[in-house]
A = this chain, B = another copy of it.
């Protein structure tokens, strides 16, 4: 097993900011990315944590991402907020749009946020959790580069096309899930490949179109959607929302871009709902708790996101552990002594 180094969350945050700023990102862009990476490490979501930093840096070095971009906010319709990320990273564009989106949803009952021309390389649960912490129900989807075969197909067309959803809870963090419409998240397959561990059957096919459990073959071939044609329908819906609806690229178009290992260009669709504006006068958060209690009463079940929330107590106390070679690589990218 690779050596692991203990770090505090503050050290993670500072290192990521430093690595990005040292490679041309503005302090605000770097801070927004560092916040998201640190949240992933806090929740022990390794595949969206420090693991992504070399990719962020590569996209700055290649010039694909504008590390100094200033997102521009607009309101094209009474219940729609748009943010042009100006080819910067997604986190700052999302921060720019989420506050206005939340205000608008509280006012109109339902509102949408279109983030365009951003470079997304993170999980989606941070944005839907942010909405849920503001007392809203949040839904977010984004496309990526072609990695997943459509139903019945033998070559990739869709991104892993995650769907994230969050719901506020009484006196505890929101219930949130964030799942790829691929059978396995690409980050997890990348980690399997790095560790030379096979992936389960049904995760993907090789470049020859035949099923395989070799993660490297899946990365070179195509991932499969979860749940067959139904997961493929979800992936298609995500492409249409994050592509055609908001006016940004489909995965197959983003795949034509520069190959630097960093985040592709694309958009994100976010929806916010305020159930208090639906006219029923019910305590909707308490209502949801009755459902959560019914789920908990069935043996063997747990709510989505429970593990992440439990991890927070652990990392707040003990810090996180980073793999030594990855940490050395990031320090080197930051121009720090390794």
Contacts and interface: CB of A to CB of B under 8 A. Distances in A.
Interface string A197-241: 000000000000000000000000000001111110110110111
Contacts of A149: 298
A153 B294 CA distance: 11
B179 A230 contact: yes
Copies of this chain, whole number: 2
Interface residues of A, number: 75
A301 to B, nearest CB: 5
Contacts of A194: none
A137 B239 contact: no
Interface in A116-157: 116, 137, 149-155, 157
A112 interface: yes
A279 B165 CA distance: 25
Nearest to A229: B304
A1 interface: no
26 contacts: A76-B279, A77-B277, A77-B279, A79-B108, A79-B111, A82-B278, A109-B112, A110-B112, A137-B240, A152-B300, A153-B295, A154-B300, A165-B237, A177-B233, A226-B230, A227-B231, A234-B234, A243-B291, A244-B284, A244-B288, A245-B284, A246-B278, A247-B275, A247-B287, A250-B294, A271-B271
